[in-house]
């Protein structure tokens, strides 16, 4: 087997998710904004276009139409939350901006109560605000104008009911994080513009009118700093007309997701999108199991699109990555009990390394490898509803087949070797069905994959006539070659699914992409060949 290497220059949109003809979106390696320097060196000057790109991205998110169409920008419950990382990127890019661009960025990053920040960018209170503090948070609101909260105050304590509901929901999320052992969000000090004390501040404003459930920006992120202080802006009422779901459901999902971003900032505010958004979306289900807003992102998971890398950091795919983190918690659990502490351990490890390296190191301490774990994740994805704990209720996608091959008396095998190409952290399912006329009781499969050390793996699933499943691992040698023979008798097995897996985590890091460690993958577009034949 000849070695194959495919490297892609930065900025080229040339990688396709799959060459097998399945209906999957394009996978494109895109560049993210590098961290600008703060001096007047050529490096700083070179970073300004990238810094402006971060500004343009944030500007588009917060663009407001005219007053007559202000509410027409509401989006369904599929819920845009990308403002948090867009504003994180803008905070990182801020030193690379100049003049009016700097002032615009500062207004976008400003808190609603910041003096002198009022303008068309971001959300800023038009009048005086009030606040109410609980054990760990202070909630701020206004009584008049576009951002006013509903005035209902059933207990007559001069704090609107919706403010109290928001406080109670946030405190439940906070207690859940603390019980799981996570670091608490960092305090912001006692600056006058940050509220009465150093508790975390949450501002209520009409953010749903621009398509947000909420967002949590960083207050600062100095050059080289990894930890950051932040605050949150939540919607002022989560009106059903704006979010297309029950207000309390939207609030609970937002509280768990966005407050967990502040927890992440206490570890590493510069982490990868798939890790930050994926674990925040996973956390929604951990804190408020019945909210289920995370189900909206199943359509952008690798369950639905196995040809898209699980660490793909563009569009809504980072949110869909929650299924990987859910898989890890269930995979290392037992007796229908998940082990969510696995994710906590990965965040602890990520303080000193990138997300993939942290995941790989934690899995190694559990007695296996990321390569084997991702292979199992991939093989189970086409029967996800039978494997995940919530499979009976949640609309988990069943990973599609890349190819279907029907074996018969006339065509008892595939003939010559067939090939698919896989990018890193992707897979392809090959379904082999038997006809009633096919002789033979066994099926032999040959696999010719890339070098095993690059992450190549293969597994076989037996779909039996009685509805049960059987599993086999194709043991690959160092060159990536392997063969396995499995039962295929008429009346016993309906079909066999061969799952080919590129579990490579080899990256050339710090190349300003939106993938893990901002890197370029070293093992994309690798050829995986296979052949099958029935045996008497």
In whole numbers, what is the pLDDT of the chain averaged over residues? 87
- The Cα 223–Cα 37 span in angstroms is 7
Q: What does DSSP assign to residue 426?
A: E
Domain ranges in the chain are: 36-269, 403-535
Whether 307 contacts 428, CB under 8 Å: yes
pLDDT at 65 over 60: no
For 499-524, what is the mean pLDDT? 96
For 381-410, what is the mean pLDDT? 95
Structure tokens given for 74: 């509401």
pLDDT digits (tens, 9 = 90+) for 285-294: 999 999 999 9
The b/e string for 228-248 (b: 16+ C-beta within 10 A; e otherwise) is bbbbbbbbbbbbeebbebebe
Lowest mean pLDDT among 51-60, 258-267, 474-483: 51-60
- The Cα 25–Cα 97 span in angstroms is 34
Architecture of domain 403-535: Sandwich (2.60)
DSSP string, 350-388: TTSS-HHHHHHHHHHHTTS-HHHHHHHHHHHGGGHHHHS
pLDDT at 401 over 80: yes
**Angle, vertex CA 37, rays to CA 36 and CA 43, nearest 5:** 90
pLDDT in the model for residue 40: 35
Structure tokens given for 325: 């983190």
pLDDT at 70 over 50: no
- The Cα 317–Cα 309 span in angstroms is 9
Structure tokens given for 144: 């008049």
φ, ψ dihedrals at 361, nearest 5°: -70, -40
Whether 190 contacts 235, CB under 8 Å: no
pLDDT in the model for residue 63: 81
Q: Which 3 state secondary structure label does DSSP give 138?
A: strand
| Helical segments of 220-270, H only | 240-243, 247-268
pLDDT in the model for residue 122: 78
Q: Which 3 state secondary structure label does DSSP give 419?
A: strand
Q: How many residues does the chain have?
A: 536
Q: Which 3 state secondary structure label does DSSP give 455?
A: coil
pLDDT at 67 over 70: no
pLDDT digits (tens, 9 = 90+) for 194-217: 666 789 999 999 999 888 899 999
For 361-373, what is the mean pLDDT? 98
**Angle, vertex CA 17, rays to CA 16 and CA 18, nearest 5:** 95
Lowest mean pLDDT among 39-48, 129-138, 294-303, 464-473: 39-48
* Helix or strand run (H / E) with residue 463: strand 456-464
pLDDT in the model for residue 166: 98
Residue 315 bridge partners (DSSP): none
Q: What is the pTM of this model?
A: 0.90
- The Cα 291–Cα 242 span in angstroms is 17
pLDDT in the model for residue 46: 38
pLDDT digits (tens, 9 = 90+) for 139-180: 999 999 999 999 999 999 999 999 999 999 999 999 999 999
CA-nearest of 325, 508, 298, 252 to 398 is 298
For 308-328, what is the mean pLDDT? 96
CB within 8 A of 208, min separation 6: which ones? 74, 235, 238, 239, 242, 243
Categorize the per-residue pLDDT at 191 as very low, low, confident or very high, splitting at 50, 70 and 90. low
pLDDT in the model for residue 324: 98
Structure tokens given for 265: 């900032």
DSSP string, 475-495: ---TTSEEEEEEE--TTTEEE
Q: What does DSSP assign to residue 230?
A: B
pLDDT at 22 over 50: no
φ, ψ dihedrals at 351, nearest 5°: -60, -35
DSSP string, 310-364: TT--STTHHHHTHHHHHHHHHHT-BTTB--THHHHHHHHHTTSS-HHHHHHHHHH
φ, ψ dihedrals at 363, nearest 5°: -60, -35
Q: Which 3 state secondary structure label does DSSP give 211?
A: coil
**Angle, vertex CA 24, rays to CA 22 and CA 27, nearest 5:** 130
Percent of the chain with pLDDT over 70: 86
Q: How many helices (H) and strands (E) does the chain have?
A: 13, 16
């Amino acid at each position: 087997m000849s070695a194959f290497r495919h490297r892609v220059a930065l900025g080229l949109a040339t990688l396709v998710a799959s060459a097998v003809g399945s209906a999957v979106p394009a996978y494109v390696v895109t560049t993210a904004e590098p961290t600008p320097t703060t001096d007047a060196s050529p490096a700083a000057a070179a970073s300004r276009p990238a810094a402006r790109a971060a500004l343009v991205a944030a500007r588009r998110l917060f663009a407001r139409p005219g007053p007559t169409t202000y509410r027409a920008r509401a989006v369904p419950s599929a819920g845009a939350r990308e403002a948090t990382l867009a504003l994180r990127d803008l905070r990182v890019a801020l030193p690379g901006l100049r003049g009016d661009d700097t002032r615009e960025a500062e207004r976008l990053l400003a808190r609603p109560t910041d003096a002198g920040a009022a303008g068309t960018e971001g959300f800023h209170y038009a009048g005086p605000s009030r606040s109410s503090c609980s054990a760990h948070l202070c909630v701020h609101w206004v009584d008049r104008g576009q951002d006013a909260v509903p005035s209902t105050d059933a207990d007559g304590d001069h704090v609107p009911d919706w403010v109290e509901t928001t406080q109670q929901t946030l405190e439940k999320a906070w207690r859940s994080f603390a019980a799981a052992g996570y670091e608490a969000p960092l305090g912001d000090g006692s600056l006058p513009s940050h509220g009465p004390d150093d508790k975390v501040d949450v501002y209520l404003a009409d953010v749903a009118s621009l398509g947000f459930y909420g967002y949590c920006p960083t207050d600062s992120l100095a050059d080289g700093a990894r930890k950051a202080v932040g605050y949150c802006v939540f919607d002022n009422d989560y009106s059903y007309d704006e979010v297309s779901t029950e207000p309390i459901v939207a609030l609970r999902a937002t509280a768990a997701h966005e407050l967990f971003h502040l927890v992440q900032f206490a570890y590493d505010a510069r982490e990868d999108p798939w890790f930050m958004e994926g674990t925040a979306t996973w956390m929604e289900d951990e804190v408020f199991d019945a909210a289920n807003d995370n189900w909206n992102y199943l359509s952008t998971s690798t369950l639905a699109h196995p040809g898209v890398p699980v660490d793909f950091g563009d569009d809504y795919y980072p949110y869909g990555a929650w299924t990987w983190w859910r898989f890890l918690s269930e995979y290392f659990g037992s007796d229908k009990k998940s082990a969510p502490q696995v994710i906590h351990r990965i965040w602890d490890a990520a303080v000193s390394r990138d997300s993939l390296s942290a995941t790989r190191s934690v899995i190694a301490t559990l007695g296996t490898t990321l390569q084997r774990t991702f292979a199992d994740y991939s093989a189970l994805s086409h029967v996800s509803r039978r494997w995940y704990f919530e499979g009976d209720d949640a609309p988990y996608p069943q990973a599609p087949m890349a190819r279907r091959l029907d074996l018969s008396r006339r065509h008892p095998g595939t003939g010559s070797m067939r090939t698919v190409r896989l990018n890193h952290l992707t897979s392809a399912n090959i379904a082999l069905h038997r006809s009633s006329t096919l002789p033979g009781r066994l099926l032999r499969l040959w696999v010719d994959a890339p070098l095993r050390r690059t992450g190549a793996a293969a597994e076989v699933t037996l779909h039996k006539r009685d509805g049960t499943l059987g599993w086999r691992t194709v043991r690959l040698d160092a060159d990536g070659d392997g063969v396995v023979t499995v039962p295929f008798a008429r009346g016993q097995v309906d079909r066999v699914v061969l799952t080919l897996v590129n579990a490579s985590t080899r990256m050339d890091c710090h190349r300003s992409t939106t993938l893990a460690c901002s890197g370029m993958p070293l093992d994309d577009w690798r050829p995986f060949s296979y052949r099958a034949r029935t045996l008497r």
